[in-house]
Chains A and B, each alone.
Chain A
């Protein structure tokens, strides 16, 4: 029988605890837990950020990891908070309290659109944030909640979502120019609770719930070029109620259900890979930032947790299992 020593010319280390900074490919036997361990590469890791003042799920997000914006949902459902990389402070309130809306833009130039106003009326309204207060924008043609959003305040895209209760998911895309919405190309697969990010002319719609009435998931990724959607690589772990950040060719998708989980997945424009896991499993959270510097906030219960993702390869400890 082949031995580790015979193959690699060295013996497996016996350590009473895992090394604090394992090397890639380092193998050791933890003599306390009686487990064989190895150092492997993982894409990115999460750290906690400052907690939201208002815990909530079904909110929307915009901005970056160090200049993030959270708005909507919770009680009374119109609260806005601004993140500076350390803590959240209150911003101006949305005129229309609502949950399960979508967001686009930056902390000082954001758009919020769609959603559901209490007690369950679906919305097509758009509001625009200038860093201080919200003002009314143009209405979407399709009223919907749990939609995807991408782009900026004046060049945004809205896609997917649930159009009523009970009513079907929509495949419709709409494009915003800062004043009014016009129709764009339809998704191949109608769905809601998708992971949406990118720009109006290079948007990404990943996974989500294609069922009109119950919990369901799809692995489908679709890419928008400003005119039509085409199929991208399938996600590894199907989700709904997840958040996404980044661009069409460099995206990060995180959290989701079912059940609420900590999964993160990275997309390079072709293929998805798994990344470091969040500490707090949750769905109906919001996201901001880029693939290598993302922000996750809200979702789950109590719904105030914030986590910051830093991309790049890190060596982590994994237990060797199997035969």
Chain B
């Protein structure tokens, strides 16, 4: 499956509607990055609706990496006791497909 990426701010109600999520897969990633199927007219129309900005895979990966690095740095800065009590552990890197 080939994907495209865009950035768009999720404003909440109406950002993704049932008629959209049932017609194509929309997957949210850190940094307001959204993954949609490539070569899909409906998905492209959704990006237009949400005033999204298309990103290349490399650009999207860089945004995601920066957000994950920020979260990892926040985790690394925690005192050891809080790290030990952390429920989820250190955020993991995400590799875009």
Residues of A within 8 A of B (CB): 17-18, 20-22, 30, 32-33, 35, 42, 45-51, 57-58, 86-87, 100, 119-120, 146, 165, 215, 241, 257, 259, 262, 276-277, 279-281, 283-284, 301, 305-307, 310, 314-317, 319
Contact = CB atoms under 8 A, between A and B. Distances in A.
A243 B29 CA distance: 20
B12 A48 contact: yes
Contact of B1 (A58, A315, A319): A319
A257 B87 CA distance: 11
Interface in B26-55: 26-28, 30, 34, 37-42
7 contacts: A18-B23, A47-B16, A50-B13, A51-B11, A100-B87, A279-B34, A305-B10
Interface residues of B, number: 36
Nearest to B91: A301
Interface of B: 1-2, 10-18, 20-28, 30, 34, 37-42, 71, 82, 85, 87-89, 91-92
Contacts of A305: 10, 28
Which 10 residue pairs of A and B lie closest in terms of their CB atoms, listed nearest first? A45-B22, A17-B41, A33-B39, A280-B28, A50-B12, A48-B15, A32-B39, A51-B12, A314-B22, A48-B16
A317 B87 contact: no
B85 A165 contact: yes
A283 B15 CA distance: 21
A17 B21 contact: no
A21 B23 contact: yes
A50 B13 CA distance: 5
A120 B13 contact: no
A33 B1 CA distance: 9
Contacts of A86: 13
A17 B40 contact: yes
Given A284-B87, A305-B10, 15 more contacts: A18-B40, A21-B23, A32-B39, A35-B1, A46-B18, A49-B12, A50-B12, A50-B13, A57-B88, A86-B13, A119-B82, A279-B28, A281-B27, A301-B30, A301-B71
